[in-house]
Amino acid sequence: MCATCGCSAPSSADQRLAGGRDHAHHGESDPRAPAVIRLERGVLAKNDRLADENRGWLTRRGILALNLVSSPGAGKTTLLERTIRDLGGELALHVIEGDQETDRDAERIHAAGAQVLQINTGRGCHLEAAMISQALTALDPPAGSVLFIENVGNLVCPALFDLGEHAKVVVTSVTEGDDKPVKYPHMFRASDAMVLNKIDLLPYVSFDVDRCVAHAHTVNPRLAVFEVSATRGDGLGAWYDWLRRHVAAASAREVAATVR
């Protein structure tokens, strides 16, 4: 059982990369243990230590790592497909896909042109730093590349688990409620950017963009916001410029780490 959220996960999570299979282990706690609060803190502390190690590994190589989070169906995979097709000739893009089951999203990412590794969490509702550590070894993204981590669709638990990313990007959509940021404040507070997806559907849904953005900035005033249609292409230029700026920052971090 996951000590922090109560989800149940198998003792190993499948990782799949084209041509091979590897395994990452999801730690399990004793369900009979009475010290729930102490155990929860221990799980998160261990995760944070591993996340710091992941971040150091990525930083020393100048790799920009972004943790994409959302509720199911917001369009993370579609956004990644479009980004890979549009920027694949400019940036080296790699993806770690997190889902409970199947490798369907990994197949879509591979078809779009990026190297990808699939992590299946079973009944687990989030990725953890230990999974990412083993995925980094298997995927081995080159120096100067961009690593997208597409987390399991869930706006609760992924807010708690640092994976070693440099930024979280929360993807929401106009087919969801415009009050999502205040209903799930921890995720929006933990994120550096919000991609509001599916704006091509605005004529057909009841959704107030201004209200959603205002809610988001109430929770997190520093949140960068991008209104996009991943299918039609609206607003993607600003999203791509943000990525380019963060790639440059990752390169600067690599230089600083080398100097030290």
pLDDT tens per residue, range 88-101: 999 999 999 999 99
For the chain, what is the domain count? 1
Query: Would residue 5 count as lying in a domain?
Result: no
Query: Would residue 234 count as lying in a domain?
Result: yes
CATH of the domain at 54: 3.40.50.300
Q: Please give the residue range of the domain that contains residue 67.
A: 13-259
Query: Would residue 109 count as lying in a domain?
Result: yes
Measured from the Cβ of residue 72, the count of other Cβ atoms closer than 10 Å reads 10
Query: Would residue 123 count as lying in a domain?
Result: yes
234-to-114, 158, 167, 192, 198 alpha-carbon distances in Å: 22, 28, 23, 21, 9
Query: Would residue 4 count as lying in a domain?
Result: no
Closest by CA position to 154, among listed 9, 38, 29, 28: 9
For residue 22, pLDDT over 60 is answered with no
Query: Would residue 201 count as lying in a domain?
Result: yes
Q: How far apart are CA 135 and CA 226, in angstroms?
A: 29
Cα 257 to the chain's mean position, in Å? 24
Q: How many residues does the chain have?
A: 260
Q: Give the per-residue pLDDT at 2.
A: 58
Query: Would residue 8 count as lying in a domain?
Result: no
Binned at pLDDT 50, 70 and 90, residue 28 comes out as very low
Q: Give the per-residue pLDDT at 6.
A: 59
This prediction has a pTM of 0.86
Q: How far apart are CA 215 and CA 220, in angstroms?
A: 9
Query: Would residue 6 count as lying in a domain?
Result: no
